[in-house]
Structure 1
Amino acid sequence: MTHALDELDIRILNQLQDDATLPVAEVAERVASSKSVVWRRVQGFVDSGVIERRVAVLNPKKVGFSVMVFAMVKMSRHSSNALPKFIEAVKAIPQVLECHTTLGQVDFVLKIATTSIEEYRELVWTRLSQLEVQEISSLISFEQTVNTTRLPLHATAG
C-alpha cells in the first residue's frame, strides 16, 4: 500500500533522510511548520511503516569491509519450500546486506560485504553452496560511485 504524501510530508521526510537525528524542533523550523504538526506526522510515518527504522549509515571500508560483492544465485529447484528456505538461510548470514528475489536469469541477487576475497570464498563454499543452488555468479565492486539511501520523493495523488 502506498502512502499518499503531501508537500509538507515530503519536506519532513527529506529532512529526516538527510539526518534522522534532527530534533523535531529543528525539523519544524526547517520545514516552516509547528513542532506539534511535525511530531504528529513523524509518529504517523512510524506507525504506518513509512519510516521503517532509524539507523547510522557506516562507511564499510572504514570498519574493515573492503570487498563488496553482488552474487547472482540461480536455484537448482523451485519447490514450494526451496525458495523460502534459501531466504531464511541468507537472513542468518551477517555479511548479506541485501537479498532481492528477481525475475529473469537468476532467482536472487545478494549484496554481500566481506573483509576479503578469502572470506567471500569461505562464505560461498560453506554457506551458500549448501543451499540447493545451481549456480552462483559473482560481481566484485572495485569502486562505489553512487551511494544513497535517499528516495526521490514526490507528492502522490491522495
Structure 2
Amino acid sequence: MAIDEFDRRILAVLQRDATLPVARVAELAGMSATPCWRRIQKLEQSGVIRKRVALLDRAKLNVGVTVFIAIRTSQHNAEWLERFRRVIADIPEIVDFHRMSGEIDYLLRAVVPDIAAYDGVYKRLIAGIDLTDVTSMFAMEELKSTTEVPLGYAGGKEEQGS
C-alpha cells in the first residue's frame, strides 16, 4: 500500500490517541472527515493499522519491574523454535520476544512486580525448554519508551529521511 503525506498525518494522530473521533483526526490531519474515515479503513484493511489498544500504567498494575532476558541456545531448528514459541506464549509476563543476530539468540522483555516474581518466570521458562545460557538484566530506570513508530520512512525510498 502506498502511504502519502495525508496517511502519515492520520497515522501520527492515531499513534498519539486512537480514541479521537474521526472528525478530530481529520481536523488534525488537515482534511475532511469522510476521506479521512475512508483512509483509516484502508489503512486497517491493508494491515498498516494492526489494532487499536489502551496503554496501561505498569506501575499502577504492580508490574513496574522490567527484565530483559538474553537467551543463547545450541538448538537451531524449526521444531525447537516452535516449542520455544509455545513456552513463551504461555508466560504472560513476557511481553516482547525477538530472534537476534550476534552472540545472543533471543531477547525477551518481561514485566513483573519484583525479583521473586521474575524467579517464577525464570523457573517456568527453563522447565519448558532446554537453553544453553540465560542472562537476566533488570532495568534500573526507563528513559524512553514509546509505541509510536517513525513515519518518515513510510511511502518508499524517495521519501526516507524527510
Say whether the fold is shared (TM-score over 0.5): yes
Map of 1:83-122 to 2, 5 A cutoff? 83-122=81-120
Percent identity between the two aligned chains: 37
How far 1:84 moved relative to its partner? 1.6
Residue equivalent to 1:69: 67
Structure 1 residue runs of 4+, over 6 Å off? none
Higher relative contact order (CA 8 A, sep 6+): 1
CA contact (8 A) 1:74 1:106 kept: yes
Structure 2 residue identity aligned to 1:29: E
Q: Deviations over 1:75-123 (max 9, x none)?
A: 2322330112101210121001000011111211000001110011121
TM-score by length of 1: 0.93
Aligned residues: 155
**Partner of residue 137 from structure 2, selected from 139, 145, 149:** 139
Quote the Cα distance in structure 1 between the aligned partners of 2:100 and 2:71.
10
Could you list the runs of 5+ residues in structure 2 that have no partner in the other structure? 158-162
AA aligned opposite 2:75: R
Q: What are structure 1's unaligned runs of at least 5 residues?
A: none
Q: TM-score, normalised by structure 2?
A: 0.91
SS at match of 1:133: coil
Match in the other structure for 2:156: 157
